């Protein structure tokens, strides 16, 4: 069975994107691309005062993700598969949620130019989860720059993600109902998730583990 060459793992803050990316890379001997939110100098300020810092945080993420994509997706002789813990197009989810109209107009102009150079993945895996589970995961990992995140913001973001992926048609998409599973601590959950990811995909597909 041929594993997709380029996989993107997506989900709301706290969904487990980075953990799953790391585990899949170890299992599949894949190259990893990790988003580095802690390098955004405006992020902590944004969570304290979203209206004031939304545009700065958004533009920094857009440009840094673009640079990382250009650098990281060069041909690699040692790995057949690349796995990223973010989808470049998801930047628009945050932009439309956080920016006011004039800021969004300028953002769209810049993003449209950059998106022309972005390589599309062979598969996107969307880790769909409940707000309660997301907030629990955020509290557990206790990152300094996430301490000001409100449940209201995560709820709005969760709705925006669901809306985005409901209409997503750019690449094959696997929507995983991850609320009731723990692929980090439960080996069985992880093994079944791996099987779901490496099988052939087309269009939008759903995986909802029974509990």
Catalytic residue among 29, 85, 91, 182: 85
Task: Determine whether 49 is an active site residue.
Answer: no
- CA 110 from chain centre, in angstroms, equals 20
Burial class of residue 102 in the structure, from the number of CB atoms within 10 Å of its CB (0-12 exposed, 13-18 middle, 19+ buried)? exposed
DSSP string, the chain: -PPPSEEEEE-STTS-HHHHHHHHHHHHT-EEE---GGG-TTHHHHHH-HHHHHHHHHHHHHHHHHHHHHHHTS--SS-S-EEESS-GGGHHHHHHHH--HHHHHHHHHHHHHHHTTPPPPSEEEEEE--HHHHHHHHHHH--GGGTT--HHHHHHHHHHHHHHHHS--SS-EEEEE-TT--TTT-HHHHHHHHHHHHS---SEEEE----
Active-site positions read 85
């Amino acid at each position: 069975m041929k594993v997709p060459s380029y996989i993107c793992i997506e989900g709301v803050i706290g969904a487990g994107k980075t953990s799953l990316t790391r585990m899949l890379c170890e299992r599949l001997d894949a190259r990893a691309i990790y988003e580095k939110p802690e390098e955004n100098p405006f992020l902590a300020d944004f969570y304290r005062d979203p209206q004031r810092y939304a545009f700065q945080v958004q533009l920094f993420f857009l440009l840094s993700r673009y640079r990382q994509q250009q650098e990281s997706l060069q041909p690699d002789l040692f790995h057949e598969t690349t796995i990223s813990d973010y989808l470049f197009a998801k930047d628009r989810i945050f932009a439309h949620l956080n920016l006011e109209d004039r800021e969004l107009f300028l953002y769209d102009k810049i993003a449209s130019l950059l998106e022309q150079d972005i390589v599309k993945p062979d598969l996107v895996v969307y880790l769909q989860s409940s707000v309660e589970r997301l907030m629990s995961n955020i509290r557990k990992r206790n990152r300094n720059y996430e301490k000001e995140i409100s449940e209201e913001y995560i709820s709005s973001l969760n709705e925006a993600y669901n809306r985005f992926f409901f209409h997503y048609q750019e690449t094959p998409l696997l929507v995983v109902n991850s609320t009731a599973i723990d692929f980090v601590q439960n080996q069985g959950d992880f093994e079944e998730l791996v099987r779901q990811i490496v099988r052939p995909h087309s269009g939008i597909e759903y995986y909802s583990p029974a509990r």
